[in-house]
Structure 1
């Protein structure tokens, strides 16, 4: 008995390669019969893409390879723009940006760069971080690889977050103290 695929239907707005990879992975759980794959493929489509599929001329698809070629040709513009390692030149930690926020953003940029060598990422990362205790520690004791750099960055993130928490807590306490002092000064004096 056939079970419906549990994948998100393709709407034409995302990477077609990714959709095909998910579709193929799911299909291999059930069958390797590519003729069946062609028959099941439209169930993985929605709206626009499904309309395209239903308008294909009869007998215009001979096999799954033909079908994927037609699909990829139509939706090639939906592929994400992949950046090169030169894109990292524009990535800099902004003034006031936390180390955690910057590291998250840097990681997201790196994911979109195909075949990025860890050494290149590490080189750009060290140059992109604002000057401070973390960069000074990297200069004093360079890291050997990206994992080591991330581990050390995590320690500095924890320090940064601890300091920010206490600054915020102290500022609230100072404000509360000033309000109490103001209340005392506004009290009517004795008789």
Structure 2
């Protein structure tokens, strides 16, 4: 479902991949596409003049023109570097916020992300102590360690 905030070009590309088996049937593709639109985009679609678009290519161009301003701008690495775990917040809440931000950053900054996650935890946090004593080398290892500490936190 296109929610008017996700990457528009990526979304259309993904839709085309899903419909690849029907690539010869342009009419079907044009009829199916609107069913994947969220409220804002379906409103735009509903307001199109009848017979104003003659092909799926023309349709996606009009769609891109309308929604290109809604596409998410990738976050900068600085956004991740400035994050800290707020007092009174759970590790789960912080990790979800951190992971969302990490996924919005373009590029491969895994080493930086691992380091900044550790130093953004309070110095007395058990996970920070664990990551200092036994550092992790990959995001997968970091996520596994975080999951372990989230379970402990949830059991308390």
Verify same fold: TM over 0.5.
Answer: yes
Per the TM alignment, residue 41 of structure 1 is displaced from its structure 2 partner at its CA by 6.0
TM value normalised by structure 1 = 0.64
Per the TM alignment, residue 64 of structure 1 is displaced from its structure 2 partner at its CA by 3.6
Q: What is residue 136 of structure 1 aligned with on the other side?
A: 129
Per the TM alignment, residue 125 of structure 1 is displaced from its structure 2 partner at its CA by 1.0
Q: What is residue 118 of structure 2 aligned with on the other side?
A: 126
SS at match of 2:48: helix
Q: What is residue 47 of structure 1 aligned with on the other side?
A: 43
Give the 3 Å change call, closer, same or farther, for CA 133–14 of structure 1 in structure 2: closer
Pick which of 134-143 and 12-21 moved more. 12-21
Give the 3 Å change call, closer, same or farther, for CA 126–158 of structure 1 in structure 2: same
Q: What is residue 94 of structure 2 aligned with on the other side?
A: 102
Higher gyration radius (CA): 1
TM value normalised by structure 2 = 0.75
Per the TM alignment, residue 115 of structure 1 is displaced from its structure 2 partner at its CA by 2.7
Question: CA deviation digits over 1:15-35, x for unaligned, max 9?
Answer: 333542453234223x11264
Unaligned stretches of 5+ residues in structure 2 = none
SS at match of 1:47: helix
Unaligned stretches of 5+ residues in structure 1 = 1-7, 165-191
Per the TM alignment, residue 42 of structure 1 is displaced from its structure 2 partner at its CA by 6.4
CA distance in 2, matches of 1:103, 1:119: 16
Runs of 4 or more off by more than 6 Å in structure 1?
A: none
CA RMSD across the alignment: 2.8
